[in-house]
Amino acid sequence: MSVGPQLIVLGEPSAVESIAAAEAVAISLDCPERAVLLLTLAGAERARRGWAAPASAAVARCCEMLEQQGVAAKARGRLVTVLCEGDGASATADRLIAVAQLPVVVASLRPRDAEIDRLVSCAERLVVAASADPVLDELALSELTRCCSLAELAGPPNGVAARAAAAGIQLPRWVRSVLSARLAGSDGQAAVELVAAVPIMLAVALAAAQLLAAGVCRELAAEAAGAGAAAMLQGRDPKAAARSTLPGWTHGQLRVARHGRQIDVGITPPSIVPGLARLLSVEARADAGPPA
């Protein structure tokens, strides 16, 4: 049997992307790599792109590896995203699924055809984006269950949660619980409470993104310092080696210094709130040990 994706999402294109991103982020939290490859099969409906959270080290490495193979990969938080278009979209997806060292989620914006059905038959799990017609949804799900036994219907995440997932991060559990609550009770009180909570949810989402950026920078700084120390042992330029391991978005906020046999790397994470980034600046040090 062919190697298939861990999950494929089909249905209304406007809902497929947000569902796939949310599912991919959730999968990333449970896998050792803490990252997922998200493939979007685009048709007439083009994939949407918004703000992206800073990439984790695993995501940055995977993007670099794919780009060396001529694949245009984008880093979004915990997600490596690739847009597969044109007549060769399915072939590109097959190749990436076969070589991926990460779990793979496929979001199909194309109408169903033989190639899509083949991917469904290889997938571990299938999610169908719920439409406005529950009868048609059930019929579609019943038919697709013949190809993939683990099939389910799902609605898209709410606006704030959808934007967070598209950026490659997940909102805190309590925020997701509030967003999944009913928008209105019999007297409309739930809607009033939800509207009042929106500013708090946005603030929490921004704080979560900022803390994620700081955590990613801490991991990247440690890897860069280690690369610099290793280069020193090999007689190469440790500063250049440290810088070469880091993604381009860090270079404007990067500090690399050598103190004897030690390499210090500092990174100031990107910030949505002016002045906050300096408070979350991270430092890492690696020691090359005594000279040989």
Note the pLDDT tens digit of each residue in 106-145.
999 988 888 888 888 889 999 998 887 888 888 888 878 8
CB 145 within 8 A of CB 64: no
For range 89-103, the mean pLDDT: 86
Domain spans of the chain?
7-170, 174-292
Of 109, 122, 120, residue with least CA distance to 41: 109
In the predicted structure, residue 245 carries a pLDDT above the cut 80: yes
Burial of 248 (0-12, 13-18, 19+ CB in 10 A): exposed
Position 43 confidence tier, pLDDT thresholds 50, 70, 90: low
Instruction: Please report the pLDDT score of residue 277 as a whole number.
Output: 65
d(CA 137, CA 174): 30
The answer to whether the pTM exceeds 0.95 is no
Look up the CATH number of domain 7-170: 3.40.50
**Which of the pair, 211 or 179, is modelled with greater confidence?**
211
d(CA 225, CA 230): 9
In the predicted structure, residue 168 carries a pLDDT above the cut 50: yes
Measured from the Cβ of residue 122, the count of other Cβ atoms closer than 10 Å reads 18
d(CA 264, CA 141): 55
